[in-house]
Amino acid sequence: MKVKKAHVRTMLPVASAGLACFWAWFYFALLSPYPAEHAGKEASLYLKLAFLVGMVAAMLLVYAKRNLFNRTERDPLPRAAALLTLPFGLFNIMAHYLPVSTAAFAVAWFLAGCGFSLIFLLWPKVFMVGWQKDVGAYLSASALVGAVLYLFACELRPPYGDVALVLLPLASLAVFHYVRTHIVGSEQEPEAPLEQTRLFPLTGFTVAVFGALFGIALYLLCANLDAVNPLAVAAAIACGAGLHLALSVLVKRYLTFGTAEKLSLLLLVVGFLGLAFLGPNLMLACCLFIVGVYVYLDFSNMSALVGFASGHPSPFWRIARGQLVLPVGMIVSWIACMIIEHTNPNLFAYVPYLALGLLLALALLAAFVPFKDNTFADKTVKGEIVEGGYFKQRCNQAAQTYKLSNREQEILYYLAKGRNAQFIADELNISAYTAKTHVYHIYQKMGINSQQELISIVDSTEIVYQ
């Protein structure tokens, strides 16, 4: 039976809800004391380190083996991700009734980290199809809903909270499967991984340094989770996601990643200055502030990567390459904090000053070698790729379908981007009357009465990815 396809605008809220389950699971695993309480406080830090290592391991595997999976067959990644996340929740449920060794927990946390990365790499298949449709806002909205689900999961009594560790990733994958089979253009696969715009090497380095800074705050927070109210954690997540959402909606639909790095740098300076000089009573508050900055930068990075890989329904290796440096930095600082705390606890008080040194190095780097913006978002409507999507191909296909002339096809590009007749006249050096006449003829040939109908037609035009 043929599945009825829906427009991008219709399905993005559904996709955002599915992604919210994924983020709720991640925040519940990492920023709640309950999933690791069976192993004890000290062992919980090692378990969460195993989770981070699993994240990096899966991304490295996907990046190194771009042809690991045969794309001519049914996609095995959702099933693999589901299987990898199951032991995490099941072992926690079993621990209420049977003894489970710390080694078994470590393996389960490692596999859960691998499953996290696979789910993280799967969702861009959906969001890249709708890159024109304020994807950054939908991504951050998923974190806002995820914060609410995280808070709900924290309030569940054992073993129901552990059941959430099983159900949340499965729910996310179920929604992913539904959206992917019902959204226009999301199931078209390339025959092989394709090259596209390369990421700047300096961007990867700076993101890794940011990851190291976030790792310090996360380590301090995870070491003292018993003293943290889950409501405060949810509020920190909501503030970071809300900042990204507000900037996407109120300032500019897409803020370049270089701008996001500069803003994050300023916010981190505030957070670590507080961590260094405000005393132990406000340490956790400063850590929560830094967690909010982490959420903001993480979604800015994800939005940028979705834009880079847009048009490639299987962009695992590209997303992995851009994302893995963040948890790598977190792992390095996490291990450094553990070593310092166990060898000389007195030196641990100076860790915030080390972070301030890293921030100073980043500030000097930004002063002499400015953070690179993502050029894919700055291309004009005349470019092959506009804001990362296969926009021109869809317009060309629609123009052929409705037999538009060359001039009408050129104007179609602008109309599909929401431009008005006066803007088109200024860009093409024609009179406003001529532009309006062409627009009228385009509407007549396409059998529509509004620009929104035209945009919907272009969005729903299926193309073959080359």
Q: Are residues 359 and 448 in the same domain?
A: no
Q: Is residue 350 part of a domain?
A: yes
**76 and 172 both lie in a single domain:** yes
* Per-residue pLDDT, 271: 92
Q: What residues in the chain have per-residue pLDDT under 70?
A: 1-10, 39, 66-75, 128-135, 183-203, 251-255, 307-318, 369-391, 459-460, 462-466
Q: Is there a domain that residue 217 lies in?
A: yes
Q: What is the structure's pLDDT at 136?
A: 72
Looking at the fold, whether 351 and 409 belong to one and the same domain comes out as no
Query: How confident is the model at residue 416, as a pLDDT?
Result: 84
Domain check: are 440 and 341 in the same one? no
Does residue 97 share a domain with residue 176? yes
Q: What is the pLDDT of residue 57?
A: 93
CATH of the domain at 436: 1.10.10.10
* DSSP codes, 389-444: B-HHHHHHHHHHHTT--HHHHHHHHHHHTT--HHHHHHHHT--HHHHHHHHHHHHH
Residue 107 lies in a domain: yes
In a domain, 464, yes or no: no
Number of separate domains in the chain: 2
Q: What is the DSSP string of 202-268?
A: HHHHHHHHHHHHHHHHHHHHHTTGGGS-HHHHHHHHHHHHHHHHHIIIII-S---HHHHHHHHHHHH
Contact 165, 29 (CB under 8 A): yes
| Helices and strands (H, E) in the chain, number of each type | 19, 0
Give me the domain span that covers residue 117: 8-191+201-378
pLDDT at site 466: 39
Same domain, 443 and 309: no
Is 253 a domain residue? yes
Residues 397 and 372 in one domain: no
Q: What is the CATH number of the domain that holds 285?
A: 1.20.1250.20
Domain boundary among 338, 355, 378: 378
Q: pTM score, two decimals?
A: 0.74
Q: Facing residues of 389 across strands? A: 386
How many Å apart are CA 217 and CA 187, to the nearest integer? 39
Tell me: do 367 and 407 sit in the same domain. Answer: no
Last residue of a domain, one of 332, 356, 378: 378
Whether 183 and 55 map to the same domain: the answer is yes
Could you check whether the bond before residue 280 is cis, i.e. omega within 30 degrees of 0? no
With respect to residue 1, please indicate whether it lies within any of the assigned structural domains.
no
In a domain, 383, yes or no: no
User: Which residue is listed with tokens 């005393």?
Assistant: 279
Residues 403 and 454 in one domain: yes
Say yes or no: 371 and 453 in one domain. Answer: no
Residue 384 lies in a domain: no
Residue 253's pLDDT is 60
Residues 55 and 137 in one domain: yes
Domain boundary among 345, 378, 411: 378
